[in-house]
């Protein structure tokens, strides 16, 4: 157990600073070139699913279960068997699902844009309002925040707790301000903390009483099946938000999203939205203008390959076997080097693609810059907050998926060195 840095004398800190600077100089000489900026699947994960491409060929029967020809026009909202597969991932019913293209981010953007230009279920389009606000749990997903910025929507930061967003704040904002039109959520293995919302949090979301009739929860269930462990006791679970909203009399209040981008091939999966019949019917009206239909051959390929949700779960355990050693390598170094120092805390998630590291306030930008100079690229400091403004300048998102376990350990060694160096610099500057 290391001595807390804050308890060190000035002389001890100066000696440690000199030692750390020497270690940093040696680390820079190694010529590292590692990128942990985004949660990309590794080449090994992509190679694992190459036989996916062999499921359909020129000899294949291309007819879906409803007798539609997947090579042709029609069936704009997804073939039945793909709806069933995506519904099972989200733990909802196929009638609540529309299957779309390759990325759930695309559906989120389109849904946001539709609300902005045409309104939701007959309500005033957001573009005609004086002010539109969105609640943004943070640390959170930078691409959610980018959508808000793109449309000029005011973002309101909601702190995250160990059981999800601060629901007292959420309820207060939603019930009192009709300009608040929605909230972004990553309810399971959240990006970047790996937090899963508690049952109470999900039920409180479903029971919200919005001042705005067109308030919507954007429920980005990106990591619904992305467990790191085979033991059920280590696989986080959440209630189905669709049915919870129905039970609370708020069936139109939620849009749920998911995809297979990190299940099959990133950028070549299938995505889906789940919501109420009214919301989906509203969406279909614009879809008939927007598209002649999504890639039904890819939908068929996914169903032929996985067969059902059990096939998906088995495949996800292969992903877990590749990801788990990287997470564990990172966590081992963090624990060994930073426990007891009082200069950092971090999450130990049961799934997802990220580890969230909080360093001493005022140090995150310095840590990221030091790492980059020594050859390790991290997500930019502040990226996990609206407007890239981390008020404490403390949060860093670690993406362990792409490097090998050995590279991950190397990168984390450098990271903790930079965390220590930045902390000592900060303490000596006081």
Domain boundaries, the chain: 5-45+314-429, 62-307
The pLDDT tens digits of the residues spanning 113-149 come to 999 999 999 999 999 999 999 999 999 999 999 999 9
Least confident span in 32-41, 203-212, 351-360? 32-41
Using an 8 Å Cβ cutoff, are 386 and 157 in contact? yes
Confidence of residue 279 (pLDDT cuts 50, 70, 90): very high
Using an 8 Å Cβ cutoff, are 145 and 386 in contact? yes
Q: Is the dihedral of CA 227, 42, 56, 86 positive or negative?
A: positive
pLDDT reported for residue 38: 85
- Work out the burial of residue 313: count CB atoms within 10 Å of its CB; fewer than 13 is exposed, 13-18 middle, 19 or more buried: middle
Rg (CA), the chain: 23
| Side-chain half-sphere exposure of 21, counting CA atoms within 13 A | 8
Residues 6+ apart with CB under 8 A from 158: 135, 136, 137, 138, 165, 166, 169, 170, 173, 183
Place of tokens 């019913």: 93
- CATH 3.40.640.10: does it fit domain 62-307? yes
Confidence of residue 88 (pLDDT cuts 50, 70, 90): very high
* CATH fold for domain 5-45+314-429: 3.90.1150
- Report the alpha-carbon distance of residue 349 to residue 299 in Å, rounded: 31
Output the pTM of the full model.
0.96
Mean pLDDT of 147-176: 98
pLDDT reported for residue 387: 97
């Amino acid at each position: 157990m290391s001595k807390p840095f804050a308890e060190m004398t000035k002389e001890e800190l100066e000696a440690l600073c000199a030692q750390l600077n020497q270690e940093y100089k040696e680390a820079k000489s190694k010529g590292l070139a590692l990128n942990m900026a985004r949660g990309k699947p590794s080449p090994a994960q992509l190679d694992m699913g190459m036989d996916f491409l062999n499921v359909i060929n020129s000899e294949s029967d291309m007819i879906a279960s409803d007798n539609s020809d997947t090579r042709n026009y029609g069936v704009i909202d997804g073939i039945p068997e793909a709806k069933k597969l995506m519904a099972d991932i989200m733990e909802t019913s196929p009638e609540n699902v529309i299957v779309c293209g390759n990325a759930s981010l695309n559906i989120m953007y389109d849904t946001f844009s539709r609300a902005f230009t045409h309104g939701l279920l007959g309500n005033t389009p957001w573009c005609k309002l004086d002010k539109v606000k969105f609640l943004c749990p943070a640390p959170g997903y930078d691409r959610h925040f980018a959508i808000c910025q793109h449309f000029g929507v005011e973002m309101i930061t909601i702190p995250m707790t160990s059981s999800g967003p601060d629901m007292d704040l959420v309820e207060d904002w939603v019930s009192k301000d009709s300009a608040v039109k929605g909230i972004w959520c990553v309810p399971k293995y959240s990006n970047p903390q790996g937090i899963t919302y508690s049952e109470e949090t999900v039920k409180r979301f479903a029971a919200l009483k919005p001042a705005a009739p067109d308030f919507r929860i954007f429920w980005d269930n990106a990591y619904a099946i992305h467990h790191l462990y085979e033991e059920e006791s280590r696989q986080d679970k959440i209630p189905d938000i669709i049915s919870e909203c129905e039970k609370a009399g708020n069936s139109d209040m939620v849009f749920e999203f998911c995809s297979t981008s990190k299940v099959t091939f990133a950028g070549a999966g299938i995505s889906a939205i789940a919501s109420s019949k009214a919301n989906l019917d509203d969406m279909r009206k614009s879809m008939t203008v927007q598209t002649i239909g999504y890639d039904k051959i890819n939908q068929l390929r996914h169903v032929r390959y996985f067969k059902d949700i059990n096939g998906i779960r088995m495949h996800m355990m292969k992903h877990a076997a590749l990801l788990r050693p990287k997470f564990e390598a990172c966590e081992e170094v963090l624990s060994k080097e930073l426990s007891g120092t009082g200069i950092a805390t971090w999450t130990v998630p049961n799934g997802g693609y990220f580890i969230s590291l909080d360093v001493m306030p005022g140090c995150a930008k310095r840590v990221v810059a030091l790492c980059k100079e020594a050859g390790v690229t991290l997500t930019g400091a502040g990226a996990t907050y609206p407007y890239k403004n981390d008020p404490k300048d403390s949060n860093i998102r670690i993406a362990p998926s792409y490097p090998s376990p050995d590279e991950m350990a190397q990168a984390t060694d450098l990271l903790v060195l930079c965390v220590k160096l930045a902390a000592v610099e900060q303490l000596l500057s006081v």
